[in-house]
Structure 1
Amino acid sequence: MVWQEDVYVIAMVTNLSEGGTIKCAKYWPDNTGDKIKIDIFGIQLDSEKTYSSFLIHQLQLTNLKTKASRQITHLQYTSWPDHGTPDPLELLMYHQYVTKAMRKHPENKLLVHCSAGIGRTGTFIALDALYRHGIKEGSINIVEYVHTMREDRMNIIQNLDQYKFLYRALYESFRATIHPFSKEKFIDEVKSVLSSDNTVNLSNLRIQFKELDSLKPVFQENEKSSGFENMTLNMTGSVLPADRIRIILSSHVKGRGTYYNAAPVSTFTMRDCVITGQYPVPGAAVDLIRLLVDQECSTLISTSPLSEVPSSIEWFYPSPRGNMIFQYRVQIDEGVKITDYVIKSTIRIKASAASDWQDVTLYEMNTWHTNDKLPLEYRPILDVVSLLHLNENVDAENKIAVLSRDGSSRCGEFCAVYNAIQQLQQDQEVDMFTIVRQLQRRRPEMISVFEEFMFSCQTVSQFIEQNPDEVNINYNHALVGENIYANA
């Protein structure tokens, strides 16, 4: 069918299996460079890119009889929950990439499929068609369009939740547009804000931040009930996680509850693999240890020197014998100054009932002092990002925990820079607007003032200028303690 109908782009909106049920047979090879043969067709996987909620495969489809070949862009959305609906912003980002792929083949048909071909497929087709119609004409009629679709395919858009989701997704799509910049354009935008002879109020980045400020969600008190019920465990009462998003501690410790002021966020390439949390309040160090164990964190990032954090004395002090914190033995080695701005340590944790130790690499930004609203240098964040890219495997089983005073400030700047650099490496462009918007969906307090937004942009701009020929990290900063250079 793909060959016959001259299809060049496939939007697949299902996983191969969900809930133990096979949803779709895999019709492309497993590994880059591999080939499979299906009847008279050969299919080769030329490349694969991983994003937080979807994959992009470049497939070479060859008719073995005629020897003719065709390049197929295959985009698989992987975050549509079984018996549910996805996050609107995540699906809109996926839709943006599908649209970008279709621009190369505007005269050809787009193939959309899920499992049955009516539920998710219909929802995505309606989103695509109505969005394009709305941008062109200024108005849409969802009821009429869905009725027209059902004349061609019965029961398309299968249930009420999918129909309601279509409204939400279209609402979000018309509220704001995507703002990707090339490397060169992004640097120019940052310089235009910093230039004294430019009208700052008219800069694109300032306009973007004002738009972000109007779009970020506001969680009501009843949506943060756990935070209010555990107010003594919060560093501040103004930054509380939403109940439906917060991390729930699962390991049992006598006298302790399930609450910790922490929330998951995604990187550009991996879903929910970063935990943004506050430092534990005095007397609650065991909750931080539980967080690291429960969430299988392999990396911990402190955005402040731990010597300036009052509660750190309860859990962070190097000792060869270790320290017992409730049922956990915690050992910490002597820190090594990896760069002028970062100290590296290893935390080893072992529950009394466990047979193995859990090792957590700690990166401590030792120059971003607690009284500094923003770092005096860009290097602390860039150094840690470089160390993560070179030394750490970040995925669902090796998560990163990032700590600050309230779990929002500093964490937001770090995550924004980290995600932007990943986007640069993946797509050779950066969209700080969408990156920050997605972070604020989990933590609305992140990057709450323009200075924080600009610092994040300036840090990314510095990274690009230090890597003019390629955005892949080629780390040659003066290092102490170990060699972490990699031509990567």
Structure 2
Amino acid sequence: MCAENCTKCAQDGGQCLVCNDGFYGTSCTQTCGQCESNHCDVTSGNCETCQPDWTGQRCDVKVDMQTTDINQSEDEESYTWLYIVIGVGIVVVLVLSIVCVVKRRTTTPRDSTLPSIVKFENSNSPNNQTNPAGEEQGHVLINIGTTESDPIEGPVGISVTMLKTMIVEKMADEEKEFISEFNGFPTGSCHPHTAAEINKSKDRFKSIHPYDHSRVILDSVGKGSDYINANYIDNVEASKVYVATQGPILTTIDDFWRMVWKLNSGKIVMLTNLIEKEKTKCEKYWPDEGEPMSTKTFYIMQNRERDYASHVVRNITVVDRKTKEKRDIYQFHFTTWPDHGTPNTLELVLLHRRVKLTKSVLPGQMVIHCSAGIGRTGTFIALDALFDYGKRYNRVDIPQFVTTMRKDRMCMIQTLEQYVALHEILAEAFDLQETLIPKSTFVAKYHDLASKGQPQNQTQLRDEFRLMLDLKPDYKLEQDFLASTLPQNVTKNRTMEILAADRYRPFLTSYTSNGNDYINAVVTQSYIARSGYIVTQFPLPNTRVDFWTLMMDYQCDSVVILGDENDSEPDTQWIPANKEDIDIGDFNVKQKGTSTEFNGVGVIDLAVTRKNVKAVHNSRIFRMKEWTAERNVPPSKQSTLHLLEQVESRRRSSGSKPVVVMCRDGSTQCGLFCLMANTRDQLKMDEEVDVFQAARQLLIRQPEFLATFDQYEFCYAILNDYLETTDVYIN
């Protein structure tokens, strides 16, 4: 039973998944702030936009401009004498500085390759009544990194090797230090935005507008036509390196493409889905493959679309309708970042790597957008800028760069959660290993990694495996496995050593009155789908009904059985013998025809019906009986390659339905099968492979996968055999 203000909850853990408007929290008992739509994030309580006169992440801070103005007026007289004293002090400092410069003219200047450090101070402060350095939109820019009188020993910030330690320290005491830093950033509208005032109809959110001094100005084609809600953003060392913008609305799609064209951009990074939580976040500004679209200014065609587990890459051609000039543009669409939330760090870092490695002949700025163009957009820009800087100097100053972004676009990195996540994403990025191998060099690289001449425990491959285990998540039994450890569910686990983490388990939805939503299974990604596989154990006597409930609830029509399911406990038959049928609870399972076997892989077709359900559910079972629980690796590479080919062929014919993968304990054989399938798909699709990162992604879902080195090594070996037998590699 869900809590009072909870509209959807987990049946076992009791945690609310969806709250009524106006409430949030694990039990939907906390009240949202003054959100414009009376709806806030179910986990954090953050609002998308605030009602007038309210601000803050949760819209719980009242803005009282009148009181502020009165207080400032009352303070002016009391500060008069202070201003005089400070003014005299500044004159003295300037005189001394001139003397120092004269004395240092004969000294060796600092290394000109080091970056300038620019400090932004509010010009309304009593300490800045005079502006000796030149004023830009309400801020004094004081270059403190290039003067000879103030030499700097090198890049500022923290060493990238200390990032993880710093994160732990700042997370202490309920993230107190992170909260203090984040609350210290300039917030709201800090600079003039007069162009936005007369173009409000072109803004997605009425409270998010571009500053005049940094906005992208389009080539004018009529009144108001030079406006788009977009700003240039600096990186650490150069100006106008990126463009941050909102997700286009219906009336600004042509404006968006005019901006991309004006900038001569070759890459677009999209960090939102078109619809999230039943709200439109961005209009679809590109066509489907084979269905060209046109705007007032351009013809637009999609040439290729590649779907991955966490993102999509599209090759788009844009043609100017007047000049007929043609440009090819890449769009990188990250599909798994929740609005106001945080992404899986490894998935985002791997997308970032793909963006960096993709070469475009167009030299313009990369265009980055989410929905509002501030939260997710700011996080990605900070990742790219600080990663480049950290690689060059081995140091980063994260708070300073957030301030740098916010001087040119308001509220960049919108929430505390995104700010904390940026630190974790950067730590992940700097830890990223150089393990991506082109197909053309894989065979040679594999033999180098294995290094047969070295002691077995000292190969590069074994070093990779050890690092993989070191980096796998450390889930806590009492925090991450609540459903698995409930008394009514303990008997559904074959072993308490291999459990389903709450955040990755599939919820049964059509269970009977004497059942619940738990099954010991995890949803894990294939190379092309976020929910490509559902991995589970062989059914127990009391979970046979749960298994077929899972199959129907998730419309799975393919099952891979690794080992002999008949070697399990008695009374656990869940697949009928040839041309027979069996009843399991409300289910009737019937074998269609006779089973076949070729090259060590058996195939069975089943028809499953359920009481009071008219539709027949058809499933195909793939069996590799010889890969038993006692074997960490398959007995035959040839049979394994045949199994992978059969499963891929079935997946192509049945669409995006998850494939169920089973072994006795739900881990030992299953993890290696998923790794082999994902890396083989990567080789075929992208002509490159990264076994290390593919393994790490699987371990996020089930840390007990790939527990032995011989499994990790076998994946490399079978990919080597795959390339040699298909004769597609280049010597």
Normalising by structure 2, what TM-score? Answer: 0.61
Aligned-pair distance for 1:402? Answer: 0.4
Counterparts of 1:33-48 in structure 2 under 5 Å?
Answer: 34-48=291-305
**Distance verdict in 2 for CA 1:250–1:110, change over 3 Å:** same
Aligned-pair distance for 1:235? Answer: 1.7
1:380 corresponds, among 639, 656, 667, to 639
2:529 corresponds, among 253, 261, 270, to 270
- What SS class does the counterpart of residue 271 from structure 1 fall into? coil
- 1:207-238 residue CA offsets vs partner (Å, 9 max, x unmatched): 21121011011211112233233332222221
How far apart are the structure 2 equivalents of 1:129 and 1:319? Answer: 62
How far apart are the structure 1 equivalents of 2:571 and 2:671? Answer: 22
Letter in 2 for 1:59: I
The equivalent of 2:262 in structure 1 is 4
Aligned-pair distance for 1:271? Answer: 0.8
Letter in 1 for 2:676: V
> Are 2:627 and 2:635, in contact at CA under 8 Å, matched by a contact in 1?
yes
Letter in 2 for 1:183: K
Structure 2 unaligned regions, length at least 5: 1-258
Aligned-pair distance for 1:79? Answer: 1.3
How far apart are the structure 1 equivalents of 2:288 and 2:707? Answer: 43
Letter in 2 for 1:60: T
The equivalent of 2:556 in structure 1 is 297
- Please provide the CA RMSD for this pair: 2.2
2:338 corresponds, among 81, 91, 98, to 81
Give yes or no for the alignment of 1:147 onto 2:406: no
> Are 2:595 and 2:605, in contact at CA under 8 Å, matched by a contact in 1?
no
> Are 1:342 and 1:363, in contact at CA under 8 Å, matched by a contact in 2?
yes
Aligned-pair distance for 1:94? Answer: 1.2
The equivalent of 2:476 in structure 1 is 220
Aligned-pair distance for 1:470? Answer: 7.3
Give yes or no for the alignment of 1:179 onto 2:438: no
How far apart are the structure 2 equivalents of 1:55 and 1:188? Answer: 30
Give yes or no for the alignment of 1:90 onto 2:90: no
How far apart are the structure 2 equivalents of 1:334 and 1:453? Answer: 38
- 1:292-333 residue CA offsets vs partner (Å, 9 max, x unmatched): 122221111101123333367521222646222111111123
Letter in 1 for 2:540: V
Query: What is the identity percentage for the equivalent residue pairs of Structure 1 and Structure 2?
Result: 30
How far apart are the structure 2 equivalents of 1:137 and 1:453? Answer: 34
> Are 1:16 and 1:25, in contact at CA under 8 Å, matched by a contact in 2?
yes
How far apart are the structure 1 equivalents of 2:552 and 2:397? Answer: 50
2:272 corresponds, among 14, 22, 31, to 14
The equivalent of 1:57 in structure 2 is 314
Counterparts of 1:83-482 in structure 2 under 5 Å?
Answer: 83-101=340-358, 103-105=359-361, 107-192=363-448, 196-198=452-454, 200-222=456-478, 223-229=480-486, 230-310=489-569, 313-318=572-577, 320=579, 322-393=581-652, 398-469=657-728
How far apart are the structure 1 equivalents of 2:649 and 2:673? Answer: 17
Aligned-pair distance for 1:352? Answer: 0.4
- What SS class does the counterpart of residue 294 from structure 2 fall into? strand
Aligned-pair distance for 1:336? Answer: 2.8
2:287 corresponds, among 8, 29, 32, to 29
Letter in 2 for 1:94: L
Letter in 2 for 1:142: I
Aligned-pair distance for 1:198? Answer: 4.0
> Are 1:10 and 1:72, in contact at CA under 8 Å, matched by a contact in 2?
yes
How far apart are the structure 1 equivalents of 2:531 and 2:559? Answer: 15
- What SS class does the counterpart of residue 343 from structure 1 fall into? strand
**Distance verdict in 2 for CA 1:158–1:287, change over 3 Å:** same
> Are 1:318 and 1:334, in contact at CA under 8 Å, matched by a contact in 2?
no
> Are 2:387 and 2:429, in contact at CA under 8 Å, matched by a contact in 1?
yes
> Are 1:285 and 1:311, in contact at CA under 8 Å, matched by a contact in 2?
no
**Distance verdict in 2 for CA 1:53–1:311, change over 3 Å:** farther
Structure 1 unaligned regions, length at least 5: 472-488
**Distance verdict in 2 for CA 1:309–1:241, change over 3 Å:** same
How far apart are the structure 2 equivalents of 1:75 and 1:370? Answer: 41
- 1:332-380 residue CA offsets vs partner (Å, 9 max, x unmatched): 2354334221111112221102110111110011221333232221133
How far apart are the structure 2 equivalents of 1:290 and 1:92? Answer: 36
- 1:185-219 residue CA offsets vs partner (Å, 9 max, x unmatched): 32223334556424555533222112101101121
Give yes or no for the alignment of 1:66 onto 2:318: no
How far apart are the structure 2 equivalents of 1:430 and 1:48? Answer: 19
How far apart are the structure 2 equivalents of 1:203 and 1:107? Answer: 42
Letter in 1 for 2:559: L
> Are 1:18 and 1:82, in contact at CA under 8 Å, matched by a contact in 2?
yes
How far apart are the structure 2 equivalents of 1:44 and 1:104? Answer: 17
Letter in 2 for 1:377: S
**Distance verdict in 2 for CA 1:145–1:49, change over 3 Å:** same
**Distance verdict in 2 for CA 1:438–1:422, change over 3 Å:** same
Letter in 2 for 1:50: D
- What SS class does the counterpart of residue 518 from structure 2 fall into? coil
Normalising by structure 1, what TM-score? Answer: 0.90
Larger radius of gyration: 2
**Distance verdict in 2 for CA 1:258–1:446, change over 3 Å:** same
**Distance verdict in 2 for CA 1:213–1:395, change over 3 Å:** farther
Aligned-pair distance for 1:138? Answer: 1.0
> Are 1:273 and 1:394, in contact at CA under 8 Å, matched by a contact in 2?
no
